Structure 1
Amino acid sequence: MHKWLSYANEYVRQSDWKDLALIKLCLCSAGVLIGMSLAKRVKKLAAFGAMAVFIATYLPLMWKLLKIVTGDRRP
């Protein structure tokens, strides 16, 4: 597993924002396809889970961007 994480880190180091945007679009479309295939009875639960993951990942990303935009270079 450590080997695959090293590969992923190297991939990100060699990528620019366009490559990462393509990855995000690919994952988003895969999520939409999976969501469309779910049974009606579990769609609400899946939507709630997706919303929780979105909020849990969006906030730290935007916090980091805000620190970059304001010039705060502290970790």
Structure 2
Amino acid sequence: MKCLFSCANQYVKESDWKDFALVKLCLCAIGVMIGLAVPKKKKKMPLLIAAIVFIATYIPLMTKFLRIVFRKEDDAACECE
């Protein structure tokens, strides 16, 4: 398992935003395929679970991203003076 995490870390180091966009599109596509496979009568629970997972992952991701954006803006303001 440690080898797998090591490989994943190396992948991240060698990737750029385009690679991560492709990963996100791939995961979105598989999510849509899974969603289409769920019978119409049983879609409430998967929707609820997906919404919880989305919120639980989106908030920390955006928090980190906004921290970086504001840090960059502060750095740019300091360079202009």
Normalized against structure 1, the TM-score is what? 0.89
Who wins on radius of gyration, i.e. which is larger? 2
Unaligned runs of 5+ in 1: none
* Partner residue, 2:9: 9
Q: How does 1:1-40 map to 2 (within 5 A)?
A: 1-40=1-40
Alpha-carbon RMSD across the aligned residues, in angstroms, is 1.2
* Partner residue, 1:45: 45
Higher helix proportion, which one? Answer: 2
1:43-72 CA-partner distances (Å, limit 9, x unpaired): 110010000000000001111111111118
Structure-2 separation of matches of 1:66 and 1:23: 21
Name the count of aligned residue pairs.
72
1:9-34 CA-partner distances (Å, limit 9, x unpaired): 11111000000100000000000000
Percent identity reads 54
SS at match of 2:43: helix
Query: Runs in 1 of length 4+ with deviation above 3 angstroms?
Result: none
* Partner residue, 2:65: 65
Structure-2 separation of matches of 1:47 and 1:17: 28
